[in-house]
């Protein structure tokens, strides 16, 4: 671990959700860019992800305003990147308090602390799932509805309290080291165990975007906010621009790994409100996904030891 460089001219970024897959990648990217980073994270619990970060000041979010205010006051960030959220493709009633608390309360406290400190720049994280059937707002699930609800609260802080904001709407993200229980991880496990994976018919489109590209997008949004010409708020999407169906994804893995995956398409139904067509939201300006799915998957497979032996 290096000494923290205390030079006053470096851009300072406070990141929430820093223990997550995108958060960790982003911290590295920000530092490589020469910026100073801090993380606002929940205190460690037995099951939580490690809170050890290189070159990053860590503040505890104790679920209350004071702890958020302390981070904003002490670190005085130039930009706050709000990645923290509770992601649930489906919820049960018992999840609701945590969904509201993580996806609505935490961000509101953060915006209030920024407003109290005179305003600031905020990068928010949305989801393409706010756009079921490519509607301007039609949530796939309650998770997406809480994201939209938070956008309304963000709009208030932008319009009335001196916050500048960009919301980045994510489609599916992936990359080596991702341990989230998502489709790609299931497929790689199938690859390993040979077990049958029962799936839907597999015609739904997904825009897999590599975590390095996503992190670059967050950095790009921060730069946009730091520019002289930006005012108010905007919403953009970070997506590969190259949708594939789940069937095509499986074929691609098979071709890259030289081994057939034991997938039984059509064995289960689509999820309720499955996004059959990827949402084609306007992309972040000056940003473009650079890592093709083929390249990104190949890297994942190679590093995981699943790569083609040829």
CA-to-CA distance for 33 and 287, rounded, in angstroms? 16
DSSP output for 208-247: -EEHHHHHHHHHHHHHHHHSTT--SEEEEEE--S--EEHH
If the CB atoms of residues 35 and 279 are measured against a copy of itself, the closer one turns out to be 279
If the CB atoms of residues 11 and 115 are measured against a copy of itself, the closer one turns out to be 115
Looking at residue 93, what DSSP letter applies? Answer: G
Q: Which of 141, 124, 120 shows the shortest CA–CA distance to 230?
A: 120
- Return the SS3 of 60: strand
Residues that bind a copy of itself (CB under 8 A): 64-65, 69, 93-94, 96-97, 100-101, 104-105, 108-109, 112-113, 116, 132, 137-139, 141-142, 144-146, 148-150, 152-153, 155-156, 159-160, 272-273
Report the nearest approach of a copy of itself to the CB of residue 136 (Å).
11
Report the nearest approach of a copy of itself to the CB of residue 230 (Å).
20
Count the Cβ atoms, other than its own, within 10 Å of residue 1: 8
Report the nearest approach of a copy of itself to the CB of residue 125 (Å).
16
If the CB atoms of residues 181 and 272 are measured against a copy of itself, the closer one turns out to be 272
CA-to-CA distance for 132 and 141, rounded, in angstroms? 9
Report the nearest approach of a copy of itself to the CB of residue 147 (Å).
9
If the CB atoms of residues 57 and 161 are measured against a copy of itself, the closer one turns out to be 161
Apex 149 CA angle, 70 and 279, nearest 5? 115
Count the Cβ atoms, other than its own, within 10 Å of residue 76: 12
Here the tokens at position 151 are 């956008």
- Say if residues 61 and 106 touch (Cβ distance below 8 Å): yes
Q: Are strands 205-206 and 244-245 parallel, antiparallel or unpaired?
A: antiparallel
Q: Which of 220, 295, 149 shows the shortest CA–CA distance to 141?
A: 149
If the CB atoms of residues 75 and 129 are measured against a copy of itself, the closer one turns out to be 129
Report the nearest approach of a copy of itself to the CB of residue 30 (Å).
28
- Say if residues 4 and 36 touch (Cβ distance below 8 Å): yes
Report the nearest approach of a copy of itself to the CB of residue 207 (Å).
23
DSSP output for 243-257: -EEHHHHHHHHHHHH
If the CB atoms of residues 152 and 228 are measured against a copy of itself, the closer one turns out to be 152
If the CB atoms of residues 247 and 273 are measured against a copy of itself, the closer one turns out to be 273
Report the nearest approach of a copy of itself to the CB of residue 7 (Å).
32
Report the nearest approach of a copy of itself to the CB of residue 139 (Å).
5
If the CB atoms of residues 74 and 159 are measured against a copy of itself, the closer one turns out to be 159
Residues forming a β-bridge with 206 = 244
Q: How far apart are the first and last CA of the chain?
A: 38
């Amino acid at each position: 671990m290096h000494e923290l460089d205390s030079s006053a001219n470096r851009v300072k970024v406070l990141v929430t959700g820093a223990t997550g897959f995108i958060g960790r990648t982003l911290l590295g990217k920000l530092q490589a860019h020469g910026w100073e980073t801090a993380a606002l994270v929940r205190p460690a619990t037995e099951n939580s992800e490690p809170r050890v970060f290189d070159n990053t000041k860590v503040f505890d979010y104790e679920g209350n305003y004071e702890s958020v205010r302390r981070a904003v006051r002490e670190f005085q960030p130039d930009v706050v990147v709000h990645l923290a959220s509770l992601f649930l493709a489906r919820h049960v009633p018992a999840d609701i308090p945590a969904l509201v608390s993580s996806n609505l309360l935490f961000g509101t406290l953060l915006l209030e602390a920024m407003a109290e400190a005179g305003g600031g720049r905020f990068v928010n994280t949305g989801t393409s799932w706010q756009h079921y059937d490519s509607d301007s707002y039609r949530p796939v699930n309650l998770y997406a509805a809480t994201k939209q609800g938070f956008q309304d609260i963000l709009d208030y802080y932008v319009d009335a309290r001196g916050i500048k904001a960009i919301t980045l709407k994510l489609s599916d993200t992936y990359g080596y080291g991702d341990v989230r229980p998502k489709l790609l991880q299931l497929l790689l496990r199938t690859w390993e165990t040979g077990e049958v994976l029962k799936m839907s018919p597999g015609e739904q489109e997904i825009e897999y975007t590599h975590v390095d590209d996503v992190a670059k997008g967050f950095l790009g949004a921060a730069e946009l906010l730091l520019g002289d010409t930006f005012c108010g708020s905007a919403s953009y999407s970070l997506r590969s621009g190259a949708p594939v169906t789940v069937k095509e994804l499986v074929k691609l893995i098979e071709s890259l790994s030289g081994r057939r995956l034991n997938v039984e398409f059509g064995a289960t139904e689509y999820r309720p409100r499955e996004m059959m067509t990827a949402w084609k939201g306007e992309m972040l300006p000056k940003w473009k996904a650079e890592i093709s799915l083929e390249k990104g998957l190949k890297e994942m497979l190679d590093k995981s030891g699943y790569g083609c032996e040829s």
